[in-house]
Amino acid sequence: MIDTPTSPVTSGLPLFFVITVTAIKQGYEDWLRHISDNEVNGAPVYVVRSGGLVTTRSKNIRVGDIVRVAKNEIFPADLVLLSSDRLDGSCHVTTASLDGETNLKTHVAVPETAVLQTVANLDTLIAVVECQQPEADLYRFMGRMTITQQMEEIVRPLGPESLLLRGARLKNTKEIFGVAVYTGMETKMALNYKSKSQKRSAVEKSMNTFLIIYLIILISEAIISTILKYTWQAEEKWDEPWYNQKTEHQRNSSKILKFISDFLAFLVLYNFIIPISLYVTVELQKFLGSFFIGWDLDLYHEESDEKAQVNTSDLNEELGQVEYVFTDKTGTLTENEMQFRECSINGTKYQEINGRLVSEGPTPDSSEGNLSYLTSLSHLNNLSHLATSSSFRTSPENGTELIKEHDLFFKAVSLCHTVQISSVQTDSIGDGPWQSSFAPAQLEYYASSPDEKALVEAAARFGIVFVGNSGEIMEVKTLGKLERYKLLHILEFDPDRRRMSVIVQAPSGEKLLFVKGAESSILPECIGGEIEKTRIHVDEFALKGLRTLCMAYRQFTSKEYEEINRRLFEARTALQQREEKLAGVFQFIEKDLILLGATAVEDKLQDKVRETIEALRMAGIKVWVLTGDKHETAVSVSLSCGHFHRTMNILELLNQKSDSECAEKLGQLARRIREDHVIQHGLVVDGTSLSLALREHEKLFMDVCRNCSAVMCCRMAPLQKAKVIRLIKISPEKPITLAIGDGANDVSMIQEAHVGIGIMGKEGRQAARNSDYAIARFKFLSKLLFVHGHFYYIRIATLVQYFFYKNVCFITPQFLYQFYCLFSQQTLYDSVYLTLYNICFTSLPILIYSLLEQHIDPHVLQNKPTLYRDISKNRQLSMKTFLYWTILGFSHAFIFFFGSYFLIGKDTSLLGNGQMFGNWTFGTLVFTVMVITVTAKMALETHFWTWINHLVTWGSILFYFVFSLFYGGILWPFLSSQNMYFVFIQLLSSGSAWFAIILMVVTCLFLDIVKKVFDRQFHPTNIEKAQLTETNSSIKCLDSMCCFSEGETACASVGRMLERVIGRCSPSHVSRSWSASDPFYTNDRSILTLSTMDSSTC
């Protein structure tokens, strides 16, 4: 049995406190998750059973149940649509919670079940649904429904258009009925749950390294003490003194067991050197500190009413360590608000100006350079007007041809899409007379792509108005005349083909195919039209940063259509290799096309994107843009947003066909980087080339990338984005990466990066929900990193090192004391002091420091991004800095112990009545000096003083004195022994003790102040220079952080000079004045700035 030098309560209470606080925090989070789970699983749903509707819970739905879902409700399982309140069996849903797309998608039921719109009819349905095994892909579903009607079996194919996914929401439809095919954890939403890998910050890794070092120190001290104990007891007079005789059992006990017992006893005595409470303080600091990000009004976006969100508080300090930023383009750098700007129709380029199409080039019979205005197709239809118009002259024949070209082009735009219109609105305009002054804005279009919405709205402005679907009929008003086209087939968009098509039957009976897609997928399939002119125009559009699509068509004969219809039916009803068969049929259909032209829509840059990217570059952060756009568009946007700039040498790795070709090109790029005497290089790489580079030439590719200050990856798939980030993460330098995006396709890279940031944009909340932090605009990234990241890193770095420092100060005197008590394991401090040192006496000052400290003004940090470099590479937690704090702790501990020993220990009769100081008085003196010194040390580290800092700093010292007076001044009945009775009162009644306390505190802090003065005078860091020198012409005094009233300089007195040297600032002295030209934010509305500020000077 081990005779422990301290009571189990003394050793166990701090550990119990740590475990309890952590358990409460984890339990609270689990409780919230439990409530959220119950809310979803217990939601009431209606199921068709025994000819009626029965209410049950969503968790009780079984495969085969027919479920009723009403408007705006969420689907509780994956359902195959049977019928809706519409005759055609269609419904509209939004899948924002699944894939981030906020626009409506149309789903349709098979004709045989679409007519079963009542519960009674559905109860008579006899059908079998066969489908594939559950899989995570949201966009893949293959199955078939065999319906038995009048003893006859009818087989219908089922695809993604028939499947209603759990988590999606029903819109613009009163109610639907669907049969459950996947439930519970087999639904596609559940299969897409990706358990987030636990992200750990660099600070946490450093903490673990430091803990291992301190564990080695603990074991070393225990071994040394045990060895010295037995060395000392080798002499008989010390082994068994006359006043402490051993028992017979002790004399006969095993020496090995006794050695192990003593070693373990010393471990218990010194175990307080391991700062267990550090973890609780870090958890509290991260949890409470995360609220400041949400409260920061500079990160609030008024237009969308969105504030910053913190989903993972464990990574606050990692915001101050970012070396690479990977960003999406659409919706992140841009607004994701598409506006139609230009188009090319049959080789003629037009742009929209004030609702009119303006031809940029000469038209037939028009003078060179004149602009021809097409206000709408109705003007084109009036040939007499065209003949007399001064701005557009053409012959009637050419005019008729021009009308036909424009008419066909805009009909393709109006018919080749998946846009929907609110059913309430279409009812009022479906058959009514169309007025030429009808504003398209009155029609509220919904589309799965903002590009489609912009194009359909543009066509409406020019006279071809899509007014909605009625079953299989698409209704279009051309110049006020209603035309009905029968929708025969939709060839859905997929990323391999990169195009979509519709086959329609025109009012005249013609079967037409309209195709829309990227120019690389359309132009090679065209055999007619102005292909070369359109290609040139598309490239010109892309250079302007516009998003381009090409339009083409094909007319089928009756025989061709019958063949196409047969092939499509066979492919869509196949259960095996359906996708491959469909791809073959689509390729067969989408060929021999006639090119109609191209469209160009603009996605505007967000506000202050250029300034933010430039600031990131100044901070030493490399910015990579990862996008799915074509390379010309991506490069143009990169140049306009400042990611690339004109003086940069742009390198390209594009259209590589083989591994050898890719390797040769990478070698050429590497040589160019070495040989070109250019300060900065930029690299453009496309998805195909990237796949080849990552397959065989990762090292060479990464070498090229690391030597480029900006990299643009275009035509990227979501998984490629994540793979690129992983490559950077595992590179030898192990840099800290940050990914920022707004769409569901950005989730993989957001989760892969060390820090993931979601933009709360127009592509839903999938990215924001899966991110660590969510902000409304890209420009907010600068303050998030340069201010919040900087502050959090400095705070937690100081917190970690301060904890190790104060625990060294705490236990080292205990170790030294063993040399004076024959290593008898006698404790120097009372057990209550051992327990409360980290919990009460020294915990609050460092916690408040870690929440409120601002060592430099937020405006200075944001206006001088280069200061971010000073904290990169985890410099504040380097081994050099850690050793300094540790050595400082040991030196202070030596001063505490030997100062007390030499000042008081030699003369134990210092009281006026001749009463002697004893062991507990000596230990209490050491403890008192230690509490005052470590608290004052925290005060020296504090630059930004608030009333809270003053309260907890000086209040902690006062609390220690008051507590000790009460603890030692009263005989507590519940304590079995009270060694400290009247000890503290006697100590404070001695003038020599007061002299010793003041002398030792001043000695410890004086050494620290001298070092600070020396470093600031001869080796100042950039941050210290920013604290001491004028960093902005609008600041009225020497200190950028600490300004004083006008007429008083920072050097007015020795006290002011000392404040400057230490870098401290009191809010009561602050008088900031910022010019309106300050970038990013002209006022500081952050709750981080706790000092009172006059709004007239902000």
User: Cα separations (Å) of 77 from 89, 119, 140, 179?
Assistant: 19, 19, 16, 9
Residue partners of 971: CB distance under 8 A and separation at least 6: 978, 981
3-state secondary structure of 346: coil
Residue partners of 109: CB distance under 8 A and separation at least 6: 81, 82, 83, 84, 89, 90, 162
- pLDDT value for 419: 81
- pLDDT tens digits, 842-886: 989 999 999 999 988 888 888 889 999 888 888 888 899 999 999
- pLDDT value for 849: 93
- pLDDT tens digits, 309-327: 888 778 888 899 999 999 9
Reduced 3-state DSSP string for 445-481: EECCCHHHHHHHHHHHHCCEEEEEEECCEEEEEECCE
Count helices and strands in the chain by DSSP H and E runs = 39, 35
Q: Is pLDDT at 332 greater than 60 in this prediction? A: yes
- Residue 286 banded pLDDT, cuts 50, 70, 90: confident
**Average pLDDT estimate for 152-162:** 88
Rounded to 10°, the helix 631-641/531-543 angle is 30
Compute how many other C-beta atoms are within 10 angstroms of the C-beta atom of residue 33: 10
**Average pLDDT estimate for 329-338:** 77
- pLDDT value for 726: 86
Q: Is pLDDT at 1063 greater than 60 in this prediction? A: no
The token pair at 871 is 């904290």
Q: Given its phi and psi angles, is residue 370 left (phi above 0), alpha (psi -120 to 50 degrees) or beta?
A: beta
Beta strands in 557-706 (DSSP E): 593-605, 622-626, 649-653, 681-686
Q: Is pLDDT at 1054 greater than 70 in this prediction? A: no
What does the mean pLDDT of the chain come to? 78
Single-letter amino acid, residue 186: E
pTM (2 decimals)?
A: 0.71
Single-letter amino acid, residue 452: E
Distance CA 597, CA 529 (A): 8
- pLDDT tens digits, 384-423: 333 333 222 233 344 455 667 788 898 899 888 878 776 4
Q: Is pLDDT at 9 greater than 80 in this prediction? A: no
Q: If you write DSSP's letter for every residue of 983-1052 in order, what string do you get?
A: HHHHHHT-HHHHHHHHHHHHHHHHHHHHHHHHHHHHS--HHHHHHHS--STT--SS-SS----TT--TTS
Most confident of 381-390, 588-597, 666-675: 588-597
- pLDDT value for 240: 66
- Residue 164 banded pLDDT, cuts 50, 70, 90: very high
- pLDDT tens digits, 733-745: 889 999 998 876 6
Reduced 3-state DSSP string for 507-544: CCCCEEEEEEECHHHHHHHEEECCHHHHHHHHHHHHHC
Q: Do the beta carbons of residue 801 and residue 283 sit within 8 Å?
A: no
Catalogue the active-site residues.
328
3-state secondary structure of 244: coil
Distance CA 444, CA 73 (A): 21
- pLDDT tens digits, 488-501: 888 887 766 778 89
Distance CA 54, CA 62 (A): 14
- Residue 916 banded pLDDT, cuts 50, 70, 90: low
Q: Tell which wins on pLDDT, 471 or 716.
A: 716
Q: Is pLDDT at 603 greater than 80 in this prediction? A: no
Distance CA 888, CA 454 (A): 66
Tell me which DSSP letter residue 788 carries: I
**Average pLDDT estimate for 328-344:** 82
Pick from 749, 1065, 29: which is nearest to 759 by CA?
A: 749
Residue 321: φ, ψ to 5°:
-125, 10
Q: What angle do CA 209, 211, 214 make, to 5 degrees?
A: 115
Q: What angle do CA 560, 566, 570 make, to 5 degrees?
A: 145
Residue 709: φ, ψ to 5°:
-80, -15
3-state secondary structure of 340: strand
Residue partners of 934: CB distance under 8 A and separation at least 6: 805, 806, 809, 842, 892
What is the rounded (10 degree) CA torsion for 278, 279, 282, 283? -150
Q: Which helix (H) or strand (E) segment is 48 a member of?
A: strand 44-49
- pLDDT tens digits, 71-117: 888 899 999 999 998 887 888 888 766 655 556 788 889 988 988 88
Q: Given its phi and psi angles, is residue 608 left (phi above 0), alpha (psi -120 to 50 degrees) or beta?
A: left
Distance CA 678, CA 674 (A): 9
- pLDDT value for 1055: 47
Distance CA 439, CA 785 (A): 45
Pick from 321, 875, 869: which is nearest to 617 by CA?
A: 869
Pick from 752, 754, 757: which is nearest to 767 by CA?
A: 757
Q: If you write DSSP's letter for every residue of 619-654 in order, what string do you get?
A: TT-EEEEE-SS-HHHHHHHHHHHTSS-TTSEEEEE-
Q: Do the beta carbons of residue 1053 and residue 815 sit within 8 Å?
A: no
Q: Given its phi and psi angles, is residue 172 left (phi above 0), alpha (psi -120 to 50 degrees) or beta?
A: left
Share of the chain above pLDDT 90, in %: 20
- pLDDT value for 913: 58
3-state secondary structure of 564: helix
- pLDDT value for 783: 92
- pLDDT value for 1066: 45
Q: Determine the distance from the C-alpha atom of residue 410 to the mean position of all C-alpha atoms in its chain, rounded to a whole number.
A: 41
- pLDDT tens digits, 933-986: 999 999 999 988 999 999 999 999 999 999 988 888 776 666 666 677 778 888
Q: Tell which wins on pLDDT, 513 or 50.
A: 513
Q: Is pLDDT at 1079 greater than 50 in this prediction? A: no
- pLDDT tens digits, 211-248: 899 999 989 988 998 888 888 776 766 666 666 666 66
Q: Which residue has the tokens 């890998």?
A: 197
- pLDDT value for 954: 94
The token pair at 1035 is 């600041």
Share of the chain above pLDDT 70, in %: 79
Residue 946: φ, ψ to 5°:
-125, 175
**Average pLDDT estimate for 719-741:** 86
- pLDDT value for 595: 92
